[in-house]
Structure 1
Amino acid sequence: MTDAQSSNARADRLAALPIREELKGQQPYGAPQLTVRAMLNVNETTHEVPADVVDAITKEVRVAAAQMNRYPDREFTVLREKLADFLSRDLPQAHFTAEHIWAANGSNEIMQHLLQAFAGPGRSVMAFPPTYSMYPLYARGTYSDYIPGTRNEDYTQSAEDVAAQIREHRPNVVILTSPNNPTGTALDLDVVRAAYEAAAESATIVIVDEAYGEFRQPGVASALELLEGRPRLVVTRTMSKAFAMAGGRLGYLAAAPEITDALRLVRLPYHLSIYTQAAACAALDHAESLMANVEKIKVQRDRIVEELTAMGLAPSPSDANFVFFGGLEDEKAVWRHLLDDGVLVRDVGIAGHLRVTAGTEEETTLFLDSLRRSLGR
């Protein structure tokens, strides 16, 4: 039996199972996982984890191992305190405490908790594609209706348009993404303010997904600044990107304490393992080392934007650790050329466009040199 025949036979067996109707024929989320010289397709931090961080995590996990016969702290109190302290340092004018913080196994589980609590059967979730492709999957997984909003032709969003769409559809949950994935563009806070005001008319929860928030350009504000006095506003973050913990799976949010109380109603017992808590706490204790890598990544990101522009391409302004760029006649041929040269980038399904993660200086050079050869420039 060939690989194709085996795959088809397995698909047939899956189709024969009594799975939910809305899951039939669907594809799971995924991206190519290939081992090449420059893996720049899933927005991981490609820099090595600093040695002091590795040592600290190893030490804390070893201590945790001696206690693994007991359940972990289900309130992960120390971790929430450290996350609150980190956000307070990033935003001195605000004062976050553990009561404002929730955490889970990646920001994916954070979103799942939020939709389990505030969406569900007979309720709706609105997001604005092109954006993170998991949003409709979150909705589907929580039996929620998904409403795809629209963006401007250049993929930006205006306060007036976002507010009008919210008032028209009156969703139960709105997800705004800043910086947006795959475009890398950040939202002006006026958009968040307008969205919240419109959402207040229907008691809608507004989530601002800031997974790449630490990479934003100087002077670009975070929606964290707007939390005070807005009890239905939620700002989500992750340690997968800036903290180089994609393999550690730790996402978190900041919101009014009553939001975190609502999420306790839907979380599974002891959902954060003792090892996850230990590793995250150790990383937060060494945030300075990890943020130094963030600054290096921003240099390469800005270099990519500058050099792509010089090639005559059209990169979008980026506040993330990746660059979305257009101007390609055949993005699939360019993607294949890059891969043949050992550079893996992301085809996001938008004609004429690709997305590349800002890697190390060496990885970035490999990407740029290969792209020039592909374009003959």
Structure 2
Amino acid sequence: MSGGFPPIREELRGLEPYGAPQLDVPVRLNTNENPYGPSEACVADIAASVAGAARELHRYPDREHVALRTALAEYLSRDTPHGVGVDQVWAANGSNEVMLQLLQAFGGPGRSALSFAPTYSMYPEYARDTSTAWVQGRREDDFSLDLDAATALVREHRPSVVLLPSPNNPTGTALPPEAVTVLCEAAASYEPQGLVVVDEAYGEFRRAGVPSALELLPAHRNLVVTRTMSKAFAGAGLRLGYLAADPAVCDAIRVVRLPYHLSSLTQAAALAALRHAPELLGRVDDLRAERDRTVDWLRDRGLRVADSDANFVLFGTFADRHGVWQGLVDAGVLVREVGPPGWLRVSIGTAEDMAAFKQALVGVMGRAGERVEREEVEA
């Protein structure tokens, strides 16, 4: 019989797996990676640490990854005057697995998760994969949140999990602390109260004066702040994400996590990388400056550009977005076709990468006679 195999869940039938295009081009600016790799000293430390862990591969890893959580707590404590305790930290294979574990523990049938579009396209997939209903609000034209409307939506749907990326992907928009406070209070106003997850995957790139939601943890027991080593830490290949939350949240995640979910090798590599944090984060200021120059350059050419606190820039709007994207690919530059219609997202690379991007974009727009919509957008 055709059509009956494999016996996949009906809501998954015919769907394509998530993933950004992986094309072999000279300049890849589509997955928001840190373009500056680790030093030889860092590589040597990671290699030695992994070699040490390899000698114990006949044993299971520490399923509580205590040493790693301790190091992560020390790192996070730099971003809040209150400090972060080891019992408040949990880690997994990338922030993707952290998010999935949160939905496994706190979502599920009869529960819902809520966010505000445009936002990270994996969020509804986490909900789908855990049989959690998905509720989607909308952002304003400048990609900020209307707090009155957002609060009303939370109170109406009473979600178990509210997902708030800050900076937001793909727009780069950061949330002010008052927005987090208001939504935490709204999610705590019903029973069982909801969790508010502030996804700070790009938090290290935020502009000066923009605080981390970590500062609000003591005030809101239902607040969770997630981070990753994939972006600013230049560890995209490491696959290590983590969160800070009330210890009871971490205890709940233990119920759904797979046994020994973090390998000994991952734990060893992540600990070594954390020892080199000042070096790995040493180019963040350079990337911030390059981001701001890119924003100015794009605006000088009449394009609409979202203010960004991340290591990427959303720009547009194009009558033929895909045509511009393809023209850039043909010129050897890969950006991301993501976000609202007409917009493209470029990751911030090295100065050489960005020069190639600018040259390619000028050429593509000139050849195509692309008309740019010069609508004003609030800064």
TM-score range (shorter-chain normalised) is over 0.9
CA distance in 2, matches of 1:313, 1:359: 20
Please list every run of 5 or more consecutive structure 1 residues that lacks an aligned counterpart in the other structure: 1-11
CA positional deviation for 1:15: 6.1
Query: Which residue of structure 2 lines up, in the alignment, with residue 280 of structure 1?
Result: 270
CA distance in 2, matches of 1:71, 1:14: 41
Equivalent runs, 1:98-247 vs 2, <5 Å: 98-202=86-190, 203-247=193-237
Query: Which residue of structure 1 lines up, in the alignment, with residue 70 of structure 2?
Result: 81
Does the aligned pair in 2 maintain the 1:158–1:191 contact within 8 Å? Answer: no
Q: Deviations over 1:274-311 (max 9, x none)?
A: 01000100111110001112222212211110110111
Secondary structure of the 1:26 match is coil
CA positional deviation for 1:129: 1.3
Please list every run of 5 or more consecutive structure 2 residues that lacks an aligned counterpart in the other structure: 370-379
* 1:34 paired to 2:23: yes
Query: Which residue of structure 1 lines up, in the alignment, with residue 289 of structure 2?
Result: 299
Does the aligned pair in 2 maintain the 1:313–1:326 contact within 8 Å? Answer: yes
Equivalent runs, 1:297-336 vs 2, <5 Å: 297-336=287-326
Does the aligned pair in 2 maintain the 1:215–1:320 contact within 8 Å? Answer: yes
* 1:71 paired to 2:70: no
Q: How many residues align?
A: 365
CA distance in 1, matches of 2:189, 2:339: 35
CA distance in 2, matches of 1:349, 1:305: 17
CA positional deviation for 1:13: 6.9
Does the aligned pair in 1 maintain the 2:118–2:339 contact within 8 Å? Answer: no
CA distance in 2, matches of 1:170, 1:121: 14
1:14 and 1:55, CA in 2 relative to 1: closer, same or farther beyond 3 A?
farther
Select which of 38, 42, 53 maps to 1:53: 42
* 1:271 paired to 2:261: yes
CA distance in 1, matches of 2:286, 2:272: 22
Q: Aligned letter for 2:280?
A: L
CA distance in 2, matches of 1:13, 1:146: 31
Secondary structure of the 1:83 match is helix
Does the aligned pair in 1 maintain the 2:170–2:339 contact within 8 Å? Answer: no
Select which of 3, 10, 18 maps to 2:7: 18
CA positional deviation for 1:14: 7.4
CA positional deviation for 1:50: 2.1
Does the aligned pair in 2 maintain the 1:106–1:252 contact within 8 Å? Answer: yes
* 1:371 paired to 2:356: no
CA positional deviation for 1:228: 0.3
Let me know the Cα RMSD of the aligned residues. 1.4
Does the aligned pair in 1 maintain the 2:124–2:134 contact within 8 Å? Answer: yes
CA positional deviation for 1:137: 0.6
Secondary structure of the 1:128 match is strand
Secondary structure of the 1:325 match is strand
**Normalising to structure 2: TM-score of the pair?**
0.94
Does the aligned pair in 2 maintain the 1:166–1:198 contact within 8 Å? Answer: yes
Q: Deviations over 1:186-207 (max 9, x none)?
A: 0011111110111111211111
Does the aligned pair in 1 maintain the 2:290–2:351 contact within 8 Å? Answer: yes
CA distance in 1, matches of 2:114, 2:241: 21
CA positional deviation for 1:82: 0.4
CA positional deviation for 1:349: 5.0
Q: Aligned letter for 2:293?
A: R
Q: Aligned letter for 1:298?
A: R
**Normalising to structure 1: TM-score of the pair?**
0.94
Does the aligned pair in 2 maintain the 1:160–1:194 contact within 8 Å? Answer: no
Q: Deviations over 1:95-121 (max 9, x none)?
A: 111111000000010011111111101
Select which of 235, 253, 258 maps to 2:243: 253
Select which of 282, 290, 298 maps to 2:280: 290
Secondary structure of the 1:149 match is strand
CA distance in 2, matches of 1:151, 1:368: 29
1:360 and 1:15, CA in 2 relative to 1: closer, same or farther beyond 3 A?
farther
Secondary structure of the 2:281 match is helix
